[in-house]
Amino acid sequence: MENLSLTLLLVIIIGFISWQGFNKDQVKARLLFHPYAIKYNGEWVRFITHAFIHADWNHLLINLFVLYQFGEVAERFFSYLFGAEYASLVFVLFFLGAVIFSSIPDYFKHQDNPSYRSLGASGATSALVFVYIVQDPWNWFLFPPLPALFLGIAYLYYSSYMDKRGGDNIGHNAHFWGATFGLAFAFISASILKPEFIQYFIGKLMEGPSWPTFLQ
């Protein structure tokens, strides 16, 4: 267990709790993000618990894949910024902070709507993706085949557009604000603790994109 990363530990915990929610409706009902219950029943813990349950296996596996892919990258980045002794604590606080921050807009939007509910860790996983983009803005994603920076811009635009459009029962607003949280956290932390990283980031931007290695 001592070699188990926090990312892998989170994957296991979220996977187990979500699986319990698939089989037990009462578990899912207690953990859902329900702004009405938060406001009128004081169930503030729902700001966090909804990230540990998912709608179905597809929803769960996508979020776990993104968490696994980018979580350890964020852990290493936080170790660089905050030092190895604080990196684990910062990672946990970052994950929970992204979950809460990404939910706040929907809380105010739906606090008087008793029928609105949401679930999933997408706000936090979006934040992790943007911590990765800050570190390597021109690295290519395999799918879709775009440099990280272009994918990030497209993701923010798409999330904002789909939230305004509505109608598909996906928390695009949480995706947008989770990504914004990750971006802001990375830049503010680096500016304070490792200002040389900002110079590194500017230098990487000035290099521009290169031809993807998987097409060479």
pLDDT, tens digit, 9 for 90 and up, residues 192-203: 999 999 999 999
Length of the chain: 216
- Residue that the structure tokens 């060479």 belong to: 216
Q: What is the pLDDT of residue 167?
A: 63
- Percent helix / strand / coil, the chain, rounded to 5: 75, 0, 25
- Half-sphere exposure of residue 176, counting CA atoms within 13 Å on the CB side? 17
User: Which pTM was predicted?
Assistant: 0.92
Q: What six digits make up the tokens of 40? A: 């009128």
Rounded-to-integer distance, Cα 122 and Cα 142, Å = 20
Q: Compute the C-alpha angle 208/160/185, nearest 5°.
A: 60
Residue 11 falls inside a structural domain: yes
Residue 215 falls inside a structural domain: no
Question: 160 lies in which domain range?
Answer: 6-209
Rounded-to-integer distance, Cα 153 and Cα 148, Å = 9
DSSP assignment of 44-100: TTHHHHGGG--SSHHHHHHHHHHHHHHHHHHHHHHHHHH-HHHHHHHHHHHHHHHHH
Q: What is the pLDDT of residue 32?
A: 93
Q: What is the pLDDT of residue 213?
A: 64
Rounded-to-integer distance, Cα 205 and Cα 215, Å = 22
Report the SS3 class of residue 211.
coil
Residue 138 falls inside a structural domain: yes
Rounded-to-integer distance, Cα 104 and Cα 46, Å = 11
Report the SS3 class of residue 30.
helix
Inter-residue contact 111 to 29 (CB < 8 Å)? no
Q: What is the pLDDT of residue 109?
A: 92
CATH number at residue 199: 1.20.1540.10
* Amino acid, res. 54: H
Q: What six digits make up the tokens of 4? A: 């188990």
Q: What is the pLDDT of residue 170?
A: 66
Q: What is the pLDDT of residue 2?
A: 56
How many domains, the chain? 1
Residue 170 falls inside a structural domain: yes
Rounded-to-integer distance, Cα 90 and Cα 83, Å = 10
Residue 1 falls inside a structural domain: no
Q: What is the pLDDT of residue 60?
A: 93
Q: What is the pLDDT of residue 131?
A: 96
- Per-residue pLDDT in tens (0 to 9) along the chain, 216 residues: 556 799 999 999 999 999 999 999 999 999 999 999 999 999 999 999 999 999 899 989 999 999 999 999 999 999 999 999 999 999 999 999 999 999 999 999 999 999 999 999 999 999 999 999 999 999 988 777 888 999 999 989 988 888 787 665 567 889 999 999 999 999 999 999 999 999 999 999 998 888 766 555
